[in-house]
Structure 1
Amino acid sequence: MDSIKIRGGNPLRGEVTISGAKNSALKLMVATLLTGEKLTFTRMPDLADTRFLSTLLEHLGADITRNGSEMTLQTASLSSAEAPYDLVRKMRASFNVLGPLLARNGEARVSLPGGCAIGARPVDLHLKALESLGAGIELADGYVEARAKNGLVGAQIVFPFVSVGATEHAMLAAVLAKGETVLENAAREPEIQDLANCLNAMGAKISGAGSATITIEGVDHLTGASHAVVPDRIETGTYALAAATAGGDVLLRDAVWKHNSALWDLMIAAGASVSEENEGVRIKASGGRLRATDMETRPYPGFPTDEQAQFMAAMCVAEGRSVIRETIFENRFMHAPELMRMGARIDLRGNEAVVTGVEKLRGAPVMATDLRASVSLVIAGLVATGETTIGRVYHLDRGFEHLEAKLAGCGADIERIKE
């Protein structure tokens, strides 16, 4: 099992090119199931998750080719309408093949999903949305069996709380439904807008993406299209926090300023310099320690839960005491005990973490517990004295493309240890 070794203390100087967003790429890839024509994506990240989803889509009948950051998918016909447990259990996003399979094929059988252990994250809202569109749903032996022999039918769907996954899933199914579908209390993330833009390029009729109300006028069929995956705002935030914490001056090339407004506000409050440039976003460290700043995760446009662990790592060496409140997922402070192994002072109180900044962290062997937690340990390792070894970095490989090379290119002393 690979590990990452970091010798801390080097400031970061240079530039990092931001890859396509993992959270968008996976749902865009699933759109191949909605059409028999060719889809071409540029800025497609090369990740464990995109490779894993490719295997599932190929099982379902997709023909996939890749050339660098360009990926072409075509599902001329479905070879199967069943997504088995072994191909779904490792990644929650795999479950989103259910709606497109149902919309195109009239029936589907998909295993209940797996993924990071950061809370229950049930699929109830996904299934209720499909039922609203006219699907018959049964649960049997760990599988969802869905049928809509006469096709899906447009409906009004009101989500009881904001869910990115359920919003995306409903969109993917409703584009081929008969009539109009209205999604109320929909998620507003940039990845939602990116999916809508791609589906519209394929001939869908979606309006309102990026707002709380999305309207979808169903069409008979979709065509092929070319689409550039939106730059990854979580990767952007991760490198921004790394630069502000380790010190230095880093240009985040291709980063989209407006997608991380909540983070920029907090980083500026903490003393970092953050500025929008033609090429992306520039981060300059203050030259001293950051100032402790409170944070609370919220649905977009609030502070993203996927950047909470990274922000906590930055606050571990900030001057003063900060309160970090997690409101999206339970059980998402699993990185805190590992940070404490490095000398961080963190007091966990339910969904709050009280972080008292220390002047220095100490390198130590630590273990990644989930995707975002793993990269918080990288940030901590960059500023720790001595050597930090991070184990189980397969979590990190799920969502960060060429992380060691990108950091090393900015002066970090970091390497992957193959085992």
Structure 2
Amino acid sequence: MDSIVVTGGNALKGRIPIAGAKNACLTLMPATLLSEEPLTLTNAPRLSDIRTMTTLLQSLGAEVQGLQEGQVLAMSSHALDNHTADYDIVRKMRASILVLGPLLARDGHAVVSLPGGCAIGARPVDLHLRALEAMGAELDLRDGYVHAKAPSGGLRGGTVDFPLVSVGATENALMAATLAKGTTVINNAAREPEIVDLAECLRKMGAQIEGDGTPTITVEGVDRLGGATHRVVTDRIELGTYMLAPAICGGEVECLGGEIRLLEAFCEKLDEAGISVEETDDGLKVARRNGRVKAVDVTTEPFPGFPTDLQAQMMALLCTAEGKSVLEEKIFENRFMHAPELMRMGAQIDVHGGTATVSGVDKLKGAPVMATDLRASVSLILAGLAAEGETVVSRVYHLDRGYEHVVRKLSGVGAQIERVSGS
């Protein structure tokens, strides 16, 4: 099994290109199921999760071809011959549930396995099912699968009232509503940039959508959708991760393609901690101002709040901050599994339920550590950049699900990092 070896102590200098958003691309890809005409995505990230979604779509009869080293995905669903998303594929990734709404809206029936993914909490699919039921779907959960059927004549417009904000459920509801008869109103909708990106793509395909980026989205169903070409939005989580690299170990890095609007709450916390973020013609330039990083308190919230997917990386920064920081995780339970690994490196962290208190130390020490999930894996790499000595991060297969070319990107700005193949 591969591991990543980091030797800390180098200040970083240079430019890092930021990839297209994994979470946006994983939502845009199932949109091809809504139309018989081609959908082409540019700026697609080259990640194992994208390959998993490709395999899933192909199992349904869709054609998916990666062009230009995988950064362009050419897709067509003109000849779907299967409406069952099998457990062997779906178990690898929770985003697989996003084929449910499109299949149901287009052809009136679907069978989708309950999904898997990182072990960071329950993340149930009940909100997805509630949305589809509001459009008239008949649902039956048995043997680990969702068996879904649309009423005669197809899905119909309805009012979807989410008790909690859910990005995935909003995406499923939005795609299904594009082909439902009549008007669908989605209340308490997620507002993430990935939702806006999906809506923009669907509009290019002919969908009638208003209100994306606000808590209420209104969709007027159409009879059919066409093809489109769409550029995947910048990955704000990869962006935030690499913005933290010079903040942790010093130096100055320009993140190409970055925009403050994607991470306003995050950028506000960096400013509070003493990190400079400057917009340039090509992206965002990040540098530590003077001296030691200052402690800050962080609470994860749905967009436009602080992203849960940057909580682990932020904790790595705060491990060497001056003072005591409190991080409160309000999105997922079990998302402090990286804390014991950071403590192996000398961090002082006290976890009680959904709250972690971090008392900054002068220096972290390199150590062998183990990744427990996608974001935890990169947080340990960031910590290793600032630590004395060598840090060996094992189980980095998690990393391949969400970050392309981590070693190349960080070594390109001066980090001493390498990937070592396991036996």
Please tell me the TM-score bracket, short chain as reference: over 0.9
Is residue 381 from structure 1 mapped to residue 389 from structure 2 by the alignment?
no
The correspondence of residues 112-191 of structure 1 with structure 2, limited to 5 A, is 112-148=114-150, 149-191=152-194
What secondary structure sits across from 2:57 in the alignment? Answer: helix
Render the CA deviation track for 1:168-212: whole Å, top value 9, x for unaligned.
010011100000000011000000000000000000001100000
Indicate the residue corresponding to 2:57 in structure 1: 57
Is residue 9 from structure 1 mapped to residue 9 from structure 2 by the alignment?
yes
Indicate the residue corresponding to 1:45 in structure 2: 45
1:287 is displaced (CA, Å) by 4.2
Distance 2:10 2:264 in 1: 27
The correspondence of residues 63-142 of structure 1 with structure 2, limited to 5 A, is 63-67=63-67, 68=69, 69-142=71-144
Of 44-53 and 141-150, deviating more is: 141-150
Distance 1:57 1:243 in 2: 39
Indicate the residue corresponding to 1:362 in structure 2: 365
Residues 191, 304 of structure 2: 8 Å contact kept: yes
Distance 2:81 2:341 in 1: 45
Distance 1:388 1:6 in 2: 5
Out of 231, 234, 254, the position equivalent to 1:231 is 234
The correspondence of residues 288-367 of structure 1 with structure 2, limited to 5 A, is 288-367=291-370
Residues 274, 290 of structure 2: 8 Å contact kept: no
1:150 is displaced (CA, Å) by 2.3
Amino acid at match of 1:409: G
Distance 2:137 2:337 in 1: 38
Query: Structure 2: which 5+ runs fail to align?
Result: none
Is residue 418 from structure 1 mapped to residue 421 from structure 2 by the alignment?
yes
Render the CA deviation track for 1:43-89: whole Å, top value 9, x for unaligned.
00000100111001001111111122111111112120000100100
Indicate the residue corresponding to 2:279 in structure 1: 276
Out of 168, 190, 200, the position equivalent to 1:197 is 200
Is residue 27 from structure 1 mapped to residue 27 from structure 2 by the alignment?
yes
User: Hey, which bits of structure 1, 4+ residues long, moved more than 2 A?
Assistant: none
Amino acid at match of 1:55: T
Out of 240, 248, 252, the position equivalent to 2:251 is 248
Q: Percent identity?
A: 59
Please provide the CA RMSD for this pair: 0.7
Distance 1:31 1:394 in 2: 27
Distance 1:109 1:244 in 2: 46
Distance 2:110 2:266 in 1: 40
Render the CA deviation track for 1:301-351: whole Å, top value 9, x for unaligned.
000000000000000011111011111111110000000000000011111
Task: State the TM-score, normalizing by the size of structure 1.
Answer: 0.99
Task: State the TM-score, normalizing by the size of structure 2.
Answer: 0.98
Amino acid at match of 2:65: T
What secondary structure sits across from 1:138 in the alignment? Answer: strand
Distance 1:221 1:391 in 2: 48
Distance 1:78 1:289 in 2: 57
Is residue 402 from structure 1 mapped to residue 405 from structure 2 by the alignment?
yes
Amino acid at match of 1:169: N
Is residue 211 from structure 1 mapped to residue 219 from structure 2 by the alignment?
no
Amino acid at match of 2:120: I
Amino acid at match of 2:178: V
1:286 is displaced (CA, Å) by 2.2
Indicate the residue corresponding to 2:266 in structure 1: 263
What secondary structure sits across from 1:379 in the alignment? Answer: helix
Amino acid at match of 1:75: S
Residues 247, 287 of structure 1: 8 Å contact kept: no
1:273 is displaced (CA, Å) by 0.8
Residues 247, 286 of structure 1: 8 Å contact kept: no
Indicate the residue corresponding to 2:289 in structure 1: 286
Distance 2:286 2:4 in 1: 25
Amino acid at match of 1:196: A
Residues 297, 327 of structure 1: 8 Å contact kept: yes
Residues 262, 303 of structure 1: 8 Å contact kept: yes
Render the CA deviation track for 1:221-243: whole Å, top value 9, x for unaligned.
11110000000100111011111
What secondary structure sits across from 2:364 in the alignment? Answer: coil
Render the CA deviation track for 1:109-154: whole Å, top value 9, x for unaligned.
0000111111101000100110111110001100000001420000
